[in-house]
Chain A
Amino acid sequence: MSRIGVFICHCGENISRTVDVEQVAQAARQMTGVAYACDYKYMCSDPGQTLLKKAVAEHKLEGIVVAACSPRMHEKTFRNAAQAAGLNPFLCEMANIREHCSWVHDDRAEATTKATDIVRMLVERVRKNKKLVPITVPVTKRALVIGGGIAGIQAALDIADCGHQVVLVEREPSIGGHMAMLSETFPTLDCSQCIMTPRMVDVINHPRITLHTYSEIECVDGYIGNFSITIKKKARSVDMAKCTGCGVCMEKCPQKKIPNEFDKNLGFRPAIYVPFPQAVPNTPVIDREHCTKFINGKCGVCQKVCGPGAVDYEQQDQLVVEQVGAIVVATGFKLYDITEKPKGSAIKGYGEFGHGKIPDVIDGLTFERLASASGPTGGKIVRPSDGKEPKQVVFVQCVGSRAREKGISYCSKVCCMYTAKHTMLYKHKVHDGQAYVFFMDARTPGKSYDEFWRRAIEEEEAVYVRGMVSRVYQKGDKVVVMGSDIAVGVQVEIEADLVVLATAIQPRDGADTLAQKLGISYDKYNFYSEAHAKLRPVECATAGIYLAGACQGPKDIPDTVAQASAAAAKVMTLFSKDQLEREPIVARVNEKFCVGCLACKKVCAYGAVEEKEIRDRQGNLIRVVAYVNPGLCSGCGTCQATCPSKSVELDGYTDEQVMAMLDTL
């Protein structure tokens, strides 16, 4: 006969308002196996926990049911209390009479009956609970950072500076990300390149950072502390060990008219190229799609002129496997291409803005390249159509963002600030020019942010028009912007020389595919989901994987850097231990009954089920059964539900326990 203690919490009034807790306690005292029951206002508080610990000693309790909130909330709290009282923590279970009962019912009598039933079921479960011991797994103290923008760079440097090895993977030929493309940054107007490029050099020079550029994540195996990552290094066609970065190949390449993606197609680049002069690594890559040698085999100039003989047309994609213990995902963002209307998506596009058709309608990043000293115009602001200096520029905010009917309801967060910055950069370069901004409202929370925005209006004379733009069209060499000024209540038409659209921030293409490889969750826009919006903002729900930067949601540079350092701190916390403790709620296969159909292996989302050979003493194979790797198992129970012969049991949730819970009703 077991001696179980039942502790019923009022949760302030959250539970006691609807459930008669004293009556539940009274009923609990009559239940088989219950030696003690009581109720208390805040069971999770220090006096509440003390009550529990004292009762364990006084009544020689062997198991505990805490009837309170969800186990997600306080299971850990009470298991720790049980452990402090000398019990195995896994003999303590939560009966959720708040979320599952008091919060969702009005009728006091019925809610009390239901709460009693929930307690009765949990008592049955605890009667059949077994002592469990946490599983320990070793930790590989080496981190993977996915994405070489400012978020990835910051996280990689922080972790590496702390003495751990870091593998940094970047999809593009160079690290730097979007920040390397920016001109000057708000709210201080310091040059983006000047603060970014030294960090990039720190990365390549760091003795503990292994950099894989022009590479992608092919496959992710393993679990927290023990990931095995397969990385596809795309064929660069240039041997990185031999290349000195002299640049002769790029000068001599006869293909000179390929639109330069880094300059948002405003300039051109050769087929063998580095994305920008300050690229890290400074090793060119051959764009095989546009290279004459790869198209028809009739060139080979770069190979001939290369002194060290680094150009290698035969180079193949290469797979590299890296073992790591933690992963930081920092894959960043892309700008919403408003010309596209993806099929089957809620995203509707903005055909009425003429983007993609009218050359002088550009997006914010294109304006950054125009204003950048290292850009295609050397920092001179000109119209893409005729190269003339624009005298009237219209900026439009919230293009795509906060437009539920167009498919994106979130705020892109950075556009108010960067548009204010754009008006200033423009005014600084075109003194007689006039900037207009169409905006819904200005969102400028952040240190020195509102002051910055006020400065754009009050000192740099940008004209802010509160209202939406309905149409943009070409008229002669002007671009006409039609919109409304809701402050005055009139329609406005501005004949502009250049229109700059602050288009929404979206996750990078393929963010969903990567999430599926990593086994992390993402929202309907493909932004990665944190484990808890407030209390666990940098962790994924999948253990050992952390988030940094705009891949989780729109973010400016300071927020991104802060989150990257936070993710690095989480990785370092993980690496501070040699062994990891995992909850022992894992599935176990009864090898006597398992018939090896491996249905469990097929349904396991964590790759935790393996085949195991059963051999006799002579080593002859008798049969193959399933085996659950406790290090990988997350205790979801899918295998248990799938097994046709019921040969899998989940510790703490055995069939016997579940049946006993049902039988008691």
Chain B
Amino acid sequence: MNNSTEKAEQAVTIDISGYDVATAEIRSEAKRLLTEKIVDAVVGYQAGRRKGSAVPVIITDPAQAEKLLFSPACVNNLSIYLTKAKKEIRAKGKLAVVAKGCDLRALAGLVGESQFKREEVVIIGVSCAGVHRAGIQPGEPLTNSTIAKKCRECSVHIPDEADLVVGKLPPLPDLPPKEKELMEKLDAMTPALRWEFWKEQFTRCIRCLACRQVCPFCYCEQCLCDRGRPQAVDTSPRPSGNMGWHIVRAMHLAGRCAGCAECERVCPMDIPLNLLNRKMAEELKELYHYEAGMKPVEKGPLTSYDEKDDQSFIK
């Protein structure tokens, strides 16, 4: 799904000096929170083994706060560390978490799904102009060709709902959307052609389930797709089971997915998974005027009944 317009676009480099400000502020805030025992652990990013890379880290000692950083390599959505699927981290006590705008939307969704209470977590929001897309060498500058697709259409550069916001947002370049174009292309297809498109995509799937492991909303104790009696989805990477898995995934994320696009980033087969998530989100918006993750809600449109809901689909 790489797009040919990429080459036609003029090279634009995004100023990320504000990320260093964010790094300094994250460190001092983490130190303060741990020293004053406001939290027991901080979930953030530290440098990875390769120069310029970043990986998630959980620190409990104020002395370790100096390890924390923020850079275009901080791609992971750290909200998964707060779900019940990661019990050993929750067991550390009260947590603080570093969150970009897109991550914050997942956090709001998780509060709505009773995974934690808002007051149990300190959210350190980061002003973020964008992060790297998949496959970029660590340490590369953030440009129109290295930035993630989702960041080109980001509407939450500043996570306002966080407990505090660190960093400084640079002037944002005007980048033409890419995912939107792809969406429009798919929407213009006939259902038969669209089916062929997805069939082709899912044939490549190797069922590594990285998309599941990285998704903040896939926190089930046991995934129904791993069950044997009854077996809902064929577990081997065969076309029918692949299709079943991806349909289950898309349906289970409808009204919940806030678009962090982590599933797409980690997919080793380059399947444009976020297109499905985004399509479901658009349907929800159109039908119920609902956008997931804008604020914690107790009942989303798919778990509530309103007699004013559109019922024209019942024939």
Contact = CB atoms under 8 A, between A and B. Distances in A.
Contacts of B222: 592-593, 645
Chain A CB count within 10 A is highest, among B85, B299, B303, for: B303
Contact of B230 (A595, A602, A656): A656
Interface string A649-660: 000000110011
B220 A644 contact: yes
Interface string B100-113: 00000000000001
A194 interface: no
B312 interface: no
B290 interface: no
Given A593-B220, A593-B222, A646 B303 contact: no
Contact of A597 (B113, B223, B227, B232): B113
B224 A645 contact: yes
B228 to A, nearest CB: 10
A646 B232 contact: yes
Interface in B270-315: 298-299, 303-304
B155 to A, nearest CB: 26
A152 to B, nearest CB: 29
A532 to B, nearest CB: 25
A602 B84 contact: no
Contacts of A659: 230-232
Given A644-B224, A646-B232, A596 B114 contact: yes
A642 interface: yes
B229 A656 contact: yes
A602 B299 contact: yes
A592 B113 contact: no
B292 to A, nearest CB: 14
A599 B219 CA distance: 13
Residue among A596, A624, A642 with the most chain B CB within 10 A?
A: A596
B184 interface: no
A51 interface: no
Nearest to A663: B230
A615 interface: no
- Among A593, A602, A647, which residue has the most Cβ atoms of chain B within 10 A? A602
Contact of A602 (B115, B221, B252, B304): B304
B220 A595 contact: yes
A344 to B, nearest CB: 11
A595 B221 contact: yes
A108 interface: no
Interface string A599-613: 100110000000000
A644 B252 contact: yes
Nearest to B230: A659
A517 to B, nearest CB: 15
B261 to A, nearest CB: 20
Interface string B206-250: 000000000000011111100101111000000000000000000
A427 to B, nearest CB: 50
Contact of A645 (B220, B231, B298): B220
A378 B46 CA distance: 92
A603 B85 CA distance: 23
Contacts of B85: 595
A175 interface: no
Given A599-B113, A646-B227, A592 B298 contact: no
A595 B219 contact: yes
Interface in B47-91: 84-85, 87
Contacts of B230: 655-656, 659-660
Counting chain A CB atoms within 10 Å of each CB, which of B85, B222, B232 scores highest?
A: B222
Interface string A627-665: 000000000000000101111000000011001100000
Contacts of B303: 599, 602-603, 642
B224 to A, nearest CB: 4
A624 B232 contact: no
A257 interface: no
A460 to B, nearest CB: 49
Contacts of A660: 230
A646 B220 CA distance: 10
A599 B303 CA distance: 7
Given A596-B84, A602-B299, A624 B114 contact: yes
A594 B84 CA distance: 11
Interface string A154-165: 000000000000
A471 interface: no
Interface string A292-315: 000000000000000000000000
18 contacts: A592-B222, A595-B84, A595-B219, A595-B221, A596-B114, A597-B113, A597-B114, A597-B219, A598-B114, A602-B298, A603-B304, A623-B84, A644-B252, A645-B221, A646-B224, A646-B227, A659-B230, A660-B230
Interface of B: 84-85, 87, 113-115, 219-224, 227, 229-232, 252, 298-299, 303-304
Given A595-B219, A645-B220, 9 more contacts: A593-B221, A595-B84, A595-B221, A596-B84, A597-B219, A602-B303, A623-B87, A644-B252, A645-B222
